[in-house]
Amino acid sequence: MTLDHFREYCLSLKGTTEEMPFDENTLVFKVFGKMFALTNLENFEYTNLKCDPEKSITLREEYLEVTPAWHMNKKHWNSVSFMGDLSDQQIESWVADSYNLVVKNMPKKLKIELAKF
């Protein structure tokens, strides 16, 4: 997966914005201010994605490319390497899962607002 493809996919999800709140190299994707993905622009080798805690364990056991996320809550975040054998579709699926997990936990008012996009 290329950085352009990753970025385009993330931005295709309703209500998504991109920001650089940490530094000039860390690109963060948010939906209504809540992070669901982040990656390094200078060294595009992995992304951090939010994940259900039970699913996180399963994915880490099944895929070498999935590890606990660096500098994140390891119970809720995985790092997914772009350097392995994962297909773009698999990574997109996990990005969508991360996005949906964030949306699921939003207040009803924000979910209604998101539906307008």
The rounded mean pLDDT for the chain is 96
Helices (H), 17-116: 53-62, 88-104, 108-114
Q: Please give the Cα distance from 10 to 44 (Å, whole number).
A: 15
105: domain CATH number is: 3.90.1150.30
What proportion of the chain, given as a percentage, has pLDDT over 70?
100
What range does the domain containing 66 cover? 3-114
The confidence score (pLDDT) of residue 71 equals 87
The confidence score (pLDDT) of residue 54 equals 95
Closest CA to 39 of 96, 79, 93, 9: 79
Q: Strand pairing partners for 67?
A: 79
The confidence score (pLDDT) of residue 70 equals 86
Q: Strand pairing partners for 66?
A: 80
pTM: 0.95
Model confidence band, residue 9 (pLDDT cutoffs 50, 70, 90): very high
pLDDT higher than threshold 90 for residue 5: yes
**Whether 110 contacts 32, CB under 8 Å:** yes
Q: What is the pLDDT of residues 22-74, one digit of tens each?
A: 999 999 999 999 999 999 999 999 999 999 999 999 999 999 999 999 889 99
Total number of domains in the chain: 1
Q: Please give the Cα distance from 108 to 22 (Å, whole number).
A: 29
Q: Please give the Cα distance from 57 to 116 (Å, whole number).
A: 35
